[in-house]
Amino acid sequence: MEIRRDVFQAIADPTRRAILSLVAIQAMTPGVIAENFDSSRQTISKHIQILTECELLTQEQNGREIYYQTNAKKMKEVADFIEPFRKMWDDRFNTLETIMKNYQPKK
């Protein structure tokens, strides 16, 4: 549960979300990722580090370079963040349905 919360914090940041969508298209080195942003390279490195710690990014060594890409499996889990919200509404609507099935018009 602790890890899950961290993942949500990780994707709450707009820059980190932008990084995720960038490397979703193709694996990139930190240098190339940083070129797409106005922020300093250190700042972007920090973002990449957080995303990697949350397993949203995976690393692959290719010669001297490290390439980053999105971890599809983890991303799927994050997409499921909507589930508790959906469950909440489903529960409410189920209750609504039960109440109204038993509804007796006021005399």
Q: Which residues contact another protein by CB under 8 A?
A: 8, 11-12, 14, 81-82, 84-103
Are the beta carbons of 48 and 57 closer than 8 angstroms?
yes
Q: Between 65 and 97, name the residue whose CB sits nearer to another protein.
A: 97
CB of 77 to another protein, least distance (A): 13
Residue 71 CB coordination number (10 Å): 18
Q: Between 63 and 84, name the residue whose CB sits nearer to another protein.
A: 84
Q: Between 101 and 107, name the residue whose CB sits nearer to another protein.
A: 101
Helix axes 14-25, 2-12, angle to 10 degrees: 90
Q: Which two tokens mark 87? A: 């469950």
